[in-house]
A = this chain, B = another copy of it.
Amino acid sequence: MSDRIWSVYLSGEIHSDWRERIATGIAEAGLPVELTSPVTVHEDSDDCGVAIFGSEQDKFWHDRKGAQLNAIRTRTLIEEADLVVVRFGEKYKQWNAAFDAGFAAALGTPYITLHPTDHDHALKEVDGAAMAVAREPEQVVQALAYVIRGEMPKSSAKAAAE
């Protein structure tokens, strides 16, 4: 299994550094993981459609053009992912994250949610179809180290054994 590259799609919140923390953890651990994600520059994600295919007077269609262009990327990457991580941050509606979770569930692609406990009740259906619920990005890295190499987390393994 040494040569397998695991493809992990990072869906959801774009206003905190959770993707970087996962990327750093993976790099430090030397895990054979290729991370993918949506375009995370907020304005570009909003405006890409009209910037390329022409402006719209109506904001609704402005958004539509962007959403569909982004979907070319996100669907392709979710469909080829081995695992999806779906992050719900403290703020915002983040309906696209829940949409991605439902999309992954219907494809049979496993996903891990990553969110604070405050959201537990509101996310119970989304968590209910997940393979794990993480609170910190580092837990996702630990999960990948275990799934790919069978490595147990250092301190936690000790704690669990006590």
Contacts and interface: CB of A to CB of B under 8 A. Distances in A.
Contact of A47 (B39, B65, B99, B161): B161
A57 interface: yes
For the side of the interface on A, what is the size category?
35 or more
Copies of the polypeptide in the assembly: 8
Interface string A100-115: 1111111110101000
Given A159-B55, A160-B51, A67 B110 contact: no
Contacts of A64: 124, 127-128
A59 B120 CA distance: 9
A76 B110 contact: yes
Give the one of A39, A52, A69 with max B CB within 10 A: A52
* A contact patch SS: helix
A66 B147 contact: no
B134 A53 contact: yes
Contacts of A157: 44, 47, 51
Given A98-B102, A132-B53, A124 B66 contact: yes
Contacts of A146: 39, 44, 48, 52, 69
3 A-B pairs with least C-beta separation: A102-B102, A67-B128, A106-B106
25 contacts: A1-B34, A3-B34, A47-B160, A51-B152, A51-B156, A51-B157, A52-B142, A52-B146, A53-B139, A53-B143, A64-B124, A64-B127, A67-B124, A69-B146, A69-B147, A71-B125, A72-B112, A93-B119, A95-B122, A95-B123, A96-B98, A99-B102, A99-B125, A99-B126, A100-B102
